[in-house]
Structure 1
Amino acid sequence: MLKNSIINLSSISEKKEGSTESQIFRLTNRVVQLTYHFETHGKDYSSQRGLRKILSKRRNLLTYLFKTNLMSYQDLINQLGIRKLKRN
C-alpha cells in the first residue's frame, strides 16, 4: 500500500540526479512516507523534527526554483500537487 501511494513521475525522475526538480521530488516522496508513518506512530517526536527539516529544505529549493525558473516551478507544483509558496 505504501509503495502505491508514493508519487512516481517519470518525467521528473528522468532529469539529472542532482537537479533542483529531482531533489524536490525526492523530498516530497519522503514527506509522503513520513505522513503515513505518523498515522501509526503519532508521538515519534524525533521523526517529526526530521519532517520539519525536510519541509524547510524543500521550501528553500522551491524558493530557488521560483526565482530562477518560474515555468519549471509551476509545472512541478502542479505535478506533485503541493501548495504554492506564500508571498509576503
Structure 2
Amino acid sequence: MDKKISLDSSSIREENTGSVEFQISHLTNRVLKLTSHLKLHSKDYSSQRGLWKILGKRKRLLGYLAENDPTWYEELIGNLGIRGLKRR
C-alpha cells in the first residue's frame, strides 16, 4: 500500500523542503497514498475532496515549474512518472 517515490539528492537541486521540486514529489506521494485508500473505500467523499485539492495544488506547482525552468520540469515528470500538463 505504501508505494513511495523517493528522489535522491541528485534529482532535487536543493535540500530545502520548501523547494518546488520537493513539494511536487511530496504531493505525488500523498496522491499515491490517497489513491490506494480510495480503492478500498470508494465512498469516502472527504478523502476524494482532499485528493482533488492535492491534485490542484500539484498542477499549479507544475505549471510554475514548466514556465520558469522547462528542462527541469521535463526531468522531474520523467523521474516521478506522472503526466505533464496539457499545452495550449
Give the helix-richer structure, 1 or 2: 1
CA distance in 2: counterparts of 1:64 and 1:45, whole angstroms: 29
- Structure 2's unaligned 5+ residue stretches are none
CA distance in 1: counterparts of 2:15 and 2:28, whole angstroms: 16
Q: CA RMSD, aligned part only?
A: 1.5
When normalised by structure 2's length, the TM-score is 0.90
- Give identity over the alignment, percent: 55
Q: Is the 8 A contact 1:13 1:22 kept in 2?
A: no
- Structure 1's unaligned 5+ residue stretches are none
For residue 66 of structure 1, give the secondary structure of its aligned residue in structure 2: helix
CA distance in 2: counterparts of 1:87 and 1:14, whole angstroms: 28
When normalised by structure 1's length, the TM-score is 0.90
Q: Is the 8 A contact 1:38 1:44 kept in 2?
A: yes
Aligned length: 86
- Note the C-alpha offset of 1:81: 0.4
1:56 aligns with 2:56: yes
